[in-house]
Each structure stands twice: as structure tokens, then as C-alpha cells.
Amino acid sequence: MSKLVIVGTVAFDAIETPFGKTDKILGGAATFIGLAASQCDADGAIVSVVGGDFPKDYINLFVQRGMDVSGLEIVEDGKTFFWRGKYHNDMNSRDTLATELNVLESFSPVVPEKFRNSDVVMLGNLHPMVQLSVIEQMNNPELIVLDTMNFWMDNTLAELMRVISRVNVITINDEEARQLTREYSLVVAARKIMEMGPKYVVIKKGEHGALLFHKNEIFYAPALPLEEVFDPTGAGDTFAGGFTGYLAKTGDYSYDNMKNAVIYGAALASFCVEKFGTERLLNLTAKEVRQRLKQFQDLTQFDIELT
Ligand code: AMP
């Protein structure tokens, strides 16, 4: 098994969906990534920052799942990153109502010594300069995966482009791929993003699944049609955590294995949306994951005769 470094926000979220509303609950990109990656027993470390207001019980959730938290800085007199979002009725789009960077504003990440030789680096959503600093601390990783969002495209595009040029895989949603490339066709957008650096592009399409692009090849992972979708927050990060966790666990970074990783990520993301925030991921069993992977197989397997 290879080691995995995860950088991203560890946050408080306040979420409103057509089904309900939460006050400050546990959230953040690195949180969802870490919880997802721990489902595949990946040997992972979380690199992030929180304020003194962040409950120790939340940190213990990572520790209990085997995550190294020595790179999770606590700024005792600071406040934790806070995000507030509200979903539209279709649940596929949302408005960000508040983003308070707080302790993230002056964060210098430190990758724990014993994780500097990790094979896989998952750069979750946060300031591109922090992502860059993590890349620079690593000792020749096999695979660097980047997730980002429109907030950083709007505010720090030049820095983000520097990160994009240094990664092997980017995961991005359809709207953001269009914003980044000013192309409507996702095929053309993916090609343009590959020209910026990454050899692989994953475009997430919410309830419409995800596309994996490599050279001229495309692989499609559906999203499981679910009876209940409660809160899509963190689905993209959960996908990324499942994707990188699977790759780190198997140690195979080929295009063929990335197809499996995309399915694994999609399966974990399908759980995430069933409850608010991290609730479903925190109560997930290995048996449930296996059953869901089987459902994915059944959903897409067919045996047509090509004449
Ligand atoms: P997702 O739904 O996968 O896009 O991820 C939502 C998570 O990302 C929430 O838990 C937020 O705390 C976190 N988040 C929201 N905005 C940002 C941002 N600008 N940078 C980093 N993380 C963010």
C-alpha cells in the first residue's frame, strides 16, 4: 500500500437544501476526502489548519480512522474556515453565501516528515499557493491529483494555473471546466485542460456521473440513481477521496486502474449525498460499500452482440 497526503480545508459548514438547514457542522474538502480515503484503508495524512474553536472530537474522528493528523495545525487564537451554501431546488446547483477564510488566510502547510515520500498527493480545494507549497515539500510522488473550484478561479487564477501545470490528474465539475476553458463542449474543455498540464482530466457532473479523459480516450462512470438525495455537499471531495484512496491502496496508476478508481469514488459519493454533511460517511460499513459497487456493476453491464 502506498502513502497518501491530503491537503484541503477542514471546516465548519452551514448548509441549506430544500429538505432542511444546518447550523455549523463538520465540513471541508480535506474532511470529506479523508473520510472517503479511510474507507479504502489508505495510509493517509491530513495537512490543514483549524482554529481553537474546532472540537477535538472532530479531530479524533480522523485519528480513529487511521489518519495521521500531525500536519493538521491548530491555531488556538484563530477561527476555523467557514462556508455557507444554499442549494437550488434541482440540488445540482448551489449558491455560496459566505466563505470566511479565517485561519486559512495565513496558513503555511507542513507535510509530516514520514509522508514526504508518499506516492499519491491529493490537493483538495484550498488556496493554490498552499497546494503549491505542498507539491514542493514532496519527494517525487507518482501521482498528484488536484481538485479546485470556481472561488479560486475567480480570485487566484494565475496561481491556480501554476498548480494545474504541475499535476497529473485534475478533478473538476462541468461548470468549472467550462469557466476555466471558456468552452462549452466538455470534450474540447478536457482537451484544453490536458494542454495545461494534467495527463488525466476527471469532469464531475453531479447526478449525471463523471467522465475520465486520457489522450483521446473517454471513460464514463454513472452516478447511482438514488431514492434519497439530501445534501450534495462534499460529494465532489468524497469522490476525490475514494479515487485517490483506491489508487494509493492498489499502487497502480494506470489508465485502466483509474477507471476502477473513478467507480470507487462515484460509489462513495453516492453515500455522501444521502445525509447532511459527513453523517453518512461516518456511519458507513465495508459491506455497504461492497454492495454498492455491485449495484454500479449491474447498472452498467450489458452484453450486446456487435455484428
Ligand atoms: P463540494 O461539495 O465537494 O464542492 O465540497 C464542499 C466542501 O468544500 C464544503 O465542506 C466546504 O467547507 C468546502 N469549501 C467550500 N468553499 C471552499 C473554498 N473556496 N475552498 C476550499 N474549500 C471550500
Pairing mode of beta strands 82-87, 11-17: parallel
To 10 degrees, what angle do helices 56-64 and 29-39 make? 30
Which atom of ligand 1 has the smallest separation from the CA of 11?
Answer: 12
pTM: 0.96
206 touches ligand 1 (CB under 6 Å): no
* Structure confidence at residue 41 as a pLDDT band (50, 70, 90): confident
Question: Is a pLDDT exceeding 90 seen at residue 207?
Answer: no
262 touches ligand 1 (CB under 6 Å): no
Q: Which of 9, 58, 152 to mutate to test the pocket of ligand 1 (most atoms within 8 A of CB)?
A: 9
Among residues 224, 264, 272, the alpha carbon closest in space to that of 244 is found at 264
Chain segment 22-36, per-residue pLDDT in tens: 999 999 999 999 999
Chain segment 82-121, per-residue pLDDT in tens: 999 999 988 878 899 999 999 999 999 999 999 999 999 9
Spans of all domains in the chain? 3-300
The pLDDT value given to residue 229: 87
Chain segment 120-172, per-residue pLDDT in tens: 999 999 999 999 999 999 999 999 999 999 999 999 999 999 999 999 999 99
Chain segment 213-247, per-residue pLDDT in tens: 999 999 999 989 998 888 999 999 999 999 999 99
**Other beta carbons within 10 Å of 81:** 28
Three-state secondary structure call for residue 214: strand
To 10 degrees, what angle do helices 157-164 and 186-196 make? 80
126 touches ligand 1 (CB under 6 Å): yes
233 touches ligand 1 (CB under 6 Å): yes
The amino acid at 73: E
Give distance in angstroms: CA of 234 to centre of ligand 1. Answer: 7
The pLDDT value given to residue 300: 87
CA atoms within 13 A on the CB side of 172: 28
Overall fold of domain 3-300: UDP-N-acetylmuramoyl-L-alanine:D-glutamate ligase (3.40.1190)
Contact by Cβ (8 Å): 240, 33: yes
